[in-house]
Chains A and B, each alone.
Chain A
Amino acid sequence: MEHGSVTDSTSSTFSIMEEDHTLANSVRFVLNQDPRVAFCGYSIPHPADNKINIRVQTTGDPAKDVLKDSLQDLMVMCQHVRGTFDTAVTDFRQNNPTGMDIDVNKKVA
């Protein structure tokens, strides 16, 4: 849900239900990297509510588009992290074919 964008689309607050620091802090980080953003921040209005408010103020573009771009960027970053991690795991397995033997672990435990 978007607030405060009736008269001025460049600054608004987005209320997102069922989310917490996990998403809000990551999105805030990505928003901060965007040169179009003049200010951004997030808050959790009440610890008992499952809700976050993300404030975005831009230098001219609609805040909604900037937020959407940021989310898109975060998604691309995640995909890259996943890809890189998967390759790293495959490489590790190839270089350590026996690796840590499962039975050795059992004995330790």
Chain B
Amino acid sequence: MPKKGTKSSKGTGSEPKEQERRQKKLPEHLELQRTRVVCKFDGPVNTEGFQYGGAFSAMGIDNSVSVDKFCKDFKVEIKRLTEDDVEFDMIGIDASVANAFRRILIAEVPTMAIEKVLIADNSSVIADEVLAHRLGLIPLDADPRLFEYISENDAPNERNTIVYKLHVSCKKGSPRLTVKSGDLEWLPEGSQLPLASPAQSRDKKKTYTSFSQSQKDILEKPLGVKLKDITIARLGPGQAIELEVHAVKGIGKVHAKWSPVATAWYRMLPEVVLSEEFKGDDAEELVKKCPVNVFDIEDLGNGEKRAFVAKPRACTLCRQCVTGPSGEHVHLRRVRDHFIFTIESTGALPPETLFTEAVRILEEKCERVISELS
């Protein structure tokens, strides 16, 4: 068993040893098991990989990923970056850490969402609780990093609550009216609904929030909703909705409305290898078999045609190509440490910020446990 000293985390003395270690290579079949998940016709094999860093220590080969090695080999390649989604490749990271990022993105990156709905009037056909639920799911255009969490005993103030009002009615005799999320109006001064208790009817009317200053003074840009065309309700002639909503900060673990992503997912990079040449009709057949056009035909000159793997990234692992008699010459694999990560933001934060926030949250978790241990 190698001792701590061989871990190249500190000092440069162990570098020659490290190089020597790298030069020694695993036998091909073990290297394949270590770095690839092989997808056979009836299911994937070698899904587990070699977890333990000293798995090949008897052969003098280091299987561990020291921090130095990780920092040297880790790569990120952005493939697509738009206002609301990002796709990037993360290379050289273990599934456990990639999955931690994904889990945090979905459940632990905070956002603002509507939590309380104070209904003054609702004569629409939608029941109050259904209306409240619909309102809760509307993505708000508010940076959660500028706000604090509100706890049960806290009074709602300008630092932890955003107030919107919705005031719509459909006049008698007019056609039906669709209420959209854009009708929500931000109230930077806080609630406008007076508290019911008559005892506090002194100089200033008490409302449901206690803002000490306008949110316009704290925030750089006005708040609103991200998408203005979400249908909230439809009103018939003579119906009206009058309500006020309070949005607070929360995380997706508590309720999905606080999840900052529509989805966040990753897949391992597919690798398709042809162990034998596919020529002529076989090539045509192979190209036709694949529904996502992974294969293509190249001209070898003198009328000969050969199939080659053109777009392995498009492979969905439908395994059509490994069926049939020629299937044994097609090998479907997935690269174990290459993740194609996609994040679709709901809008509160741009997708690239979401990812950095998620990584920061994992760091904070570590920090918390370290401080608890000491």
Seen from chain A, the residues whose Cβ lies within 8 Å of a Cβ on chain B are 2, 14, 16, 19-23, 25-29, 32-36, 38, 59, 61, 64, 67-68, 71-82, 84-89, 91-93, 96, 99-100, 102, 105
Point out the residues of chain B lying under 8 angstroms from A28, CB to CB: 96
Choice from B1, B93, B100 contacting A25 with Cβ under 8 Å: B100
Q: Beyond A88-B77, A89-B81, is A71–B366 a contact (Cβ under 8 Å)?
A: yes
Please count how many residues in chain B sit with their CB below 8 Å of the partner chain's CB atoms: 54
Which residues of chain B are near A76, meaning CB under 8 Å? 67, 71
Q: How far is the CA of A22 from the CA of B360 in the complex (A)?
A: 13
Partner among A61, A64, A73, A78 whose Cβ is within 8 Å of the Cβ of B373? A64
Chain A residues with CB below 8 A from B66, complex form: 33
Residues in A whose Cβ lies below 8 Å from that of B82: 99-100, 102, 105
Taking CB atoms and an 8 Å cut-off, the chain B residues in 97-130 that contact chain A are 97, 99-101, 103-104, 108
Are B100 and A81 in contact (CB-based, < 8 A)? no
Q: Using known A-B contacts A80-B70, A80-B71, determine if residue A35 contacts B54 with beta carbons closer than 8 Å.
A: yes
Q: Are A100 and B80 in contact (CB under 8 A)?
A: yes
Interface residues of B in 247-269 (CB under 8 A from A): none
- Chain A's nearest CB lies how many Å from the CB of B17? 13
Q: B94 and A29: CB pair below 8 A?
A: yes
- A-B contact number at CB 8 A: 139
9 interchain residue pairs of minimum CB distance: A92-B78, A29-B96, A88-B76, A33-B64, A33-B53, A25-B96, A100-B82, A71-B366, A22-B103
Interface residues in chain B, defined as those with a beta carbon under 8 Å from any beta carbon in chain A: 1-4, 6-7, 9, 51-54, 64-67, 70-71, 74-78, 80-84, 88, 90, 93-94, 96-97, 99-101, 103-104, 108, 352, 355-356, 359-360, 362-363, 365-367, 369-370, 372-374
Task: Point out the residues of chain A lying under 8 angstroms from B372, CB to CB.
Answer: 16
| B84 in contact with A73 (CB, 8 Å) | no
Contact between chains at B70 and A26 (CB < 8 Å): no
Alpha-carbon gap, A71 to B84, bound state (A): 32
User: CA of A68 to CA of B367 in the docked complex: distance in angstroms?
Assistant: 10
Q: Which residue of B lies closest to A1 (CB)?
A: B372
| Contact between A71 and B81, CB atoms less than 8 A apart | no
- Chain A positions within 8 Å of B374 at CB level: 68
**Please, which residue of chain B has its CB at the minimum distance from the CB of A75?**
B366
A74 and B366: CB pair below 8 A? Answer: yes
Q: Report the bound CA distance from A25 to B99 in whole Å.
A: 9
Say yes or no: B83 contacts A105, CB within 8 Å: yes
Contact A84/B70 with A78-B362, A100-B81, A105-B82 known, Cβ cut-off 8 Å = no
Is A88 in contact with B78, judged by CB distance below 8 angstroms? yes
Query: B373, A85: Cβ atoms under 8 Å?
Result: no
B373/A67 in contact, CB under 8 A: yes
Apart from A88-B78, A102-B83, list 10 A-B contacts with CB within 8 A: A29-B96, A33-B65, A59-B1, A75-B367, A78-B362, A78-B366, A80-B70, A85-B76, A89-B81, A100-B83
A92 & B81 in contact (Cβ 8 Å cutoff): yes
Q: Establish whether residues A34 and B7, one from each chain, have CB atoms under 8 Å apart when the complex forms.
A: yes
A–B Cβ pairs within 8 angstroms, 15 of them = A16-B369, A19-B365, A22-B108, A23-B100, A26-B97, A29-B51, A29-B97, A34-B7, A71-B366, A75-B363, A77-B70, A77-B97, A85-B352, A88-B78, A92-B78
